[in-house]
Structure 1
């Protein structure tokens, strides 16, 4: 008895018009399962060529899956980081008047070293039951500290920083107390801490009952939510595009195999399902590769820091729901993309009709996609204030507008290349190849096009809303680069404070003054505590001249500076700041007047001066006096402030100042003078954007290289034949470069147009005018082009190997 026919070998049955034995009706679930399984068998058992193709597909898909899993791990990672931040927070839930056996004193001791922020806290337990912060087994004794591993390494490598933190290191802070392995953090014990009173005075530390009682998460508003949603779309959509492209690797060879199957009896629907089975197998293998890459890369997370962001491997666990979505969506996308790609291909028993030039692509439906993306239009002008943002509407609109760019790209490439002709051999080879099949070229740059378009739109949005999160300080770093301040007990201590800062290495000028407050002369008789507040600054003429426009200043001078632009109590200034007027130096005001009045008369020769911003941007007012005119020992609650001009030729000048400030005592603040200040949440978002963009560009480069190598493998025999007929290898190399350059240029032009359109829509949502940054847009386009051309150059060595004579061999 003869063996039964294989499913695709029923040629005699097909000739009689029936279906082959064992073949279910087309479209049934069993037929789908059988053909998908057969396609998987072809992908897994297609010999060396089949395995290379399948592995390239798996690598391409795997790179995208790895990044998608990383994106799925970000929300849990940020949640863990936030929980750790709250758990170690030392901000008191309220004023604690009396010590107990479970309270402790805590003071901020953070610093900065060469641009890196170091978080530190000084601790002093007030009883045996005082709780230790997370990750710390025991509270450090006075003069000792526990540090994060990253800070320990930094201290060992930087004697300048070790001088600032001279405490004996007892041990490390555990993972529970750190948000990431790169975090610079320490806790030190100190016996010099004293608790502040109810008015937050007469002490240098807060009394707390433990850690984790406070959460200071700021509500950023709908504009911030819009930035976050658009950023996620811009970073993840190129990944999805590359995953969809990777499953189509080796399309030409696949179609030739399908033509052979048609020859033995398979119909068109069968061949499409078989092709979908091959793609499904490659995508499933890609899921395994992506999972392996993610978990292998996760173990290296301890050693990777991007813009200050780091994480422990255990904290990077993908959200279960998002991971399931990735695991289901990638195979479904592989099948769907394969079926759609074969709709325009007629696979016949003797060949594939797509090898010839067919009718042109239709453009109308491609333009419908970005048009539907104008779902954003109803939101124009509404993403402001405290309103709520419809994130799904925004995400859908942004995705459609960016996908529309990739949909239009193949039509644009086709329309342009069909009009190209003539020129050198390399140019003709490139243009003819593009004219015969521009699909591969368009797919190659589609991900870059989406990435650049999204980056342009996101940059426009960031630039448009920057003023909501970034504020000008009005500072003048040309006059001073740092401000050092601390509470002092006397004028003598303030003078010593200033002299020690001025004598520090790297300091060119130091402008020191005493800042305090006085009140109205009859404050003692005001029962409800509603008395006037009048600031006082005591310093030499050079220092006072940094804060006001003075004329004729000399030792013994007094100046009356009214508030500028309403920045102060104008009524109090008019009433009490006048020559010959009386003031009570027993200040500053409290809820109830305490102490003995210290009346002082303003000299009759006191002159009025106009306020000017000091180097830090602050606009002061009140009584400005030289030490000879006003004895600072009569003031209360004095603060010594020193504005420091640093040596521009000494890069560590600021570090020397911080070291001196650390030796001056607890609570000495060193403020860097900058022209702007940024909300912390916004700064973290921008750092996250940089980290995500770096990973996305790395994926783009790796995926492009995989796809480029597969395209060259598809042309291996053609390249070998051209070389055998005498074509110069250099001409072939230039033809590959031209085949890349033409779609890249067209894609970047389209990306700029699409990015401007999406950027304009986003700016319309936040009610901002259309104002593109042409320089930034050109820079982003240059980065995208640079990635593509770098990948092209990396593909040239394999190209030279493929042009050898053994490429003529066939099986």
Structure 2
């Protein structure tokens, strides 16, 4: 067969799709919508690398602490920047206080002016939040006058909450950690290139699992209206076309729908791109300009979708005989064979098998084998499900009228029923495998923080020159704060610069000191040394050298210059025994009550406050943050949690949740289109049954049964394949295999819920179709 003949036949199919009357247009439109939804998600996926790159570049461009030059002196380009991040309920707010020192000091990205003290520039999202009715406590914490907004170049997301306010007297608070002197913005440090093999495996599997259902739905969408199309093609046989020609014409119709689907998909993507700029999913937001698909990947989508439409149509029609007087489809079809359907998942297991036991110690996983193995296992769901549905429905017994109608329909067209739930089954199988993998490796990336959250739930770090006594009293007067443990802390070395020995300072009242050490007795004016703290060998030796000169705040090479305050070890230090403190460790060094402190060492001490809160008080954390801001504008309040999660692991998990939301939306929309297409094909049949007196309730139940039976079988198969894939992935990472049945059932339930919602949404159109006048024809 020459290329010209193929092109002519495909072109004829394209013309039939657009000039074949209402039926042709409806079929082309349904195909285009189904394909378009999938194409939109594929284009979104191709834009993810660009999105991540832009977000990383924006974050790097506004980095404002250069750790390589902490001892920078004031100059014509210098600017002092203070990290004043805060939180509002469960949302992070990025904050910076800036003080201009030089005439040529740099402006932060997205900022067009230096705010004066008492002024601030905010992101559009933060401005909306501050103007909302329920942000009264936040307005108290951020009372500065808003004099402008931060531009897009200074934000990593459209919904990011951030502000830049004017600072004053920040030079005395420079510590190289939260307050620094800089002469430029931007992170010049090299990025970390080492990648955890398990995290890389997670990323690969997440992409495959999220994209596989999209491909399944596109393949199903190009077959919409197949039965009516085949009946129309019988007319071509009547005028002399052979069987191969009509198959190519059918492929041309599918090609037309796929190309139109590309147009629809592009429109859907552009609409979604704009909508993405106004929403936030799991704390992630983007600007529309971030979502620029890679040209090469977009071109691949544009070529692959039409090609897939032609291939799928030709493959689907291999068992259909189109004759001049009709379509031979209703005869008893040959039974599906099982053996070749098992080859796909077995091949997938064979590709993954060599990597079992590899773990983290044997290099990265082979990406091609991982992608191929996971793809083949998930494709196994689509190949096995039609056989499972056919085998089960062939053995279903008698029942009510609705049951019999449903079973008979499934027995005649089990392939159509299986295609409808294929995408859901694949998505659930992948979700179960991912859930098992995430649950298995979570302990490697989630560690116990060590903090005693029963004794304190919040920590507030104060800047220098903030009196710990008055601060503690302000916190005790705050609503919802039950207990306050406050310390002034510092470090003393045996030399002004580069000390060899040293001891830690902790200043607090007796109640607070008893939280970090066991004291025989305590009253204001006492001084103690901890004699048995783990890892502290200097303190017991230095405590026995009363009168020895020590230097608080010693200087180190590469660090900022310090005050280096001289202090002599006092006589009469009482021994104290270490105990686990609030942070989960043991605190050594010298413990002093307020009256035992020489006032001259106060500039070298930094306050730290631990709060025990009454969680039943509404907004208790924000009340404490407001007090911290009032006590010290440069304070750093932090909530305490029992566990700490790796940032990279949390990012991948968040990406999975965002992708899952998009895929579930696609599943629901595509299923609804598929359901409406099937109902449209059965319009005359339903009208005939109603005309003969069949109750609508019976027909509705039959439609529900036709959906429920394939769903149940598909979810059962997906659970088996998902558990198998999850087990193999855990074996690959050398992680003990455990079955989280709650997660498995929840993933299965989500898949079932999507189908149930789609079925309920299709009931109103079903009621409209069940009318006798549906038999009318022209």
TM-score, normalised by the number of residues in structure 1: 0.90
Q: Does 1:171 align with 2:132?
A: no
Q: In 2, distance between residues paired with 1:756 and 1:633?
A: 66
Contact 2:516 2:578 in 1 (8 A): no
**Which residue is equivalent to 2:290?**
315
Picking from 527, 537, 551, the partner of 2:506 is 537
Picking from 388, 413, 417, the partner of 1:412 is 388
Picking from 111, 116, 137, the partner of 1:141 is 116
Q: In 1, distance between residues paired with 2:230 and 2:519?
A: 86
Picking from 513, 518, 529, the partner of 2:487 is 513
Q: In 2, distance between residues paired with 1:546 and 1:577?
A: 21
Deviation, 1:303, is: 1.5
Picking from 522, 538, 547, the partner of 1:572 is 538
Contact 1:181 1:312 in 2 (8 A): yes
Contact 2:547 2:568 in 1 (8 A): no
Contact 1:514 1:632 in 2 (8 A): no
**Which residue is equivalent to 1:21?**
none
Deviation, 1:61, is: 0.6
Contact 1:57 1:246 in 2 (8 A): yes
Q: Which moved more, 1:233-242 or 1:295-304?
A: 295-304
Q: In 2, distance between residues paired with 1:91 and 1:530?
A: 26
Contact 1:585 1:635 in 2 (8 A): no
**Which residue is equivalent to 2:627?**
660
Q: In 1, distance between residues paired with 2:608 and 2:682?
A: 73
How has the CA–CA distance of structure 1 residues 632 and 54 changed in structure 2, closer, same or farther, with 3 Å as cutoff?
same
Residues 223-254 of structure 1 show CA distances to partners (whole Å, capped at 9, x for unaligned) of 22111111111111111110110001111111
Q: In 2, distance between residues paired with 1:343 and 1:772?
A: 42
SS at match of 2:318: coil
Deviation, 1:35, is: 0.9
How has the CA–CA distance of structure 1 residues 583 and 715 changed in structure 2, closer, same or farther, with 3 Å as cutoff?
farther
How has the CA–CA distance of structure 1 residues 66 and 594 changed in structure 2, closer, same or farther, with 3 Å as cutoff?
closer
**Which residue is equivalent to 2:759?**
792
**Which residue is equivalent to 2:138?**
161
**Which residue is equivalent to 2:3?**
29
Picking from 450, 462, 466, the partner of 2:442 is 466
Q: In 1, distance between residues paired with 2:435 and 2:680?
A: 38
Picking from 622, 635, 650, the partner of 1:683 is 650
SS at match of 1:601: coil
Deviation, 1:743, is: 0.8
Residues 339-394 of structure 1 show CA distances to partners (whole Å, capped at 9, x for unaligned) of 11111222233333332222211112211111111212222232415833432221
How has the CA–CA distance of structure 1 residues 421 and 595 changed in structure 2, closer, same or farther, with 3 Å as cutoff?
closer
Q: Which moved more, 1:471-480 or 1:633-642?
A: 633-642
Deviation, 1:170, is: 1.6
Contact 1:518 1:583 in 2 (8 A): no
SS at match of 1:242: helix
**Which residue is equivalent to 1:753?**
720
Q: In 2, distance between residues paired with 1:498 and 1:223?
A: 45
How has the CA–CA distance of structure 1 residues 676 and 396 changed in structure 2, closer, same or farther, with 3 Å as cutoff?
same
Contact 1:104 1:207 in 2 (8 A): yes
**Which residue is equivalent to 2:560?**
none
Instruction: State how many pairs are aligned.
Output: 768
Contact 1:518 1:584 in 2 (8 A): no
Q: Which moved more, 1:219-228 or 1:791-800?
A: 219-228
SS at match of 1:621: coil
**Which residue is equivalent to 2:413?**
437
RMSD: 2.4
Q: In 2, distance between residues paired with 1:303 and 1:213?
A: 28
**Structure 1 unaligned residues grouped into runs of 5+:** 1-26
Q: In 2, distance between residues paired with 1:341 and 1:697?
A: 26
Contact 1:586 1:635 in 2 (8 A): no
Q: Does 1:132 align with 2:132?
A: no
Q: In 2, distance between residues paired with 1:643 and 1:196?
A: 21
Q: In 1, distance between residues paired with 2:137 and 2:344?
A: 59
Q: In 1, distance between residues paired with 2:178 and 2:426?
A: 54
**Structure 2 unaligned residues grouped into runs of 5+:** 558-562
Deviation, 1:215, is: 5.0
Q: Does 1:284 align with 2:259?
A: yes
Residues 75-100 of structure 1 show CA distances to partners (whole Å, capped at 9, x for unaligned) of 11211111111111112152353222
Contact 2:84 2:636 in 1 (8 A): no
1:542-691 correspondence to structure 2 within 5 Å: 542-549=511-518, 555=524, 560-561=529-530, 566=534, 568-569=535-536, 571-576=537-542, 584=549, 586-591=551-556, 596-603=566-573, 606-614=574-582, 616-627=583-594, 634=601, 637-691=604-658
Q: In 1, distance between residues paired with 2:733 and 2:383?
A: 28
TM-score, normalised by the number of residues in structure 2: 0.94
Picking from 295, 298, 305, the partner of 2:280 is 305
**Which residue is equivalent to 1:87?**
61
Deviation, 1:781, is: 0.4
**Which residue is equivalent to 1:23?**
none
Q: In 1, distance between residues paired with 2:221 and 2:596?
A: 80
Q: In 1, distance between residues paired with 2:732 and 2:518?
A: 45
How has the CA–CA distance of structure 1 residues 243 and 550 changed in structure 2, closer, same or farther, with 3 Å as cutoff?
farther
1:659-738 correspondence to structure 2 within 5 Å: 659-738=626-705
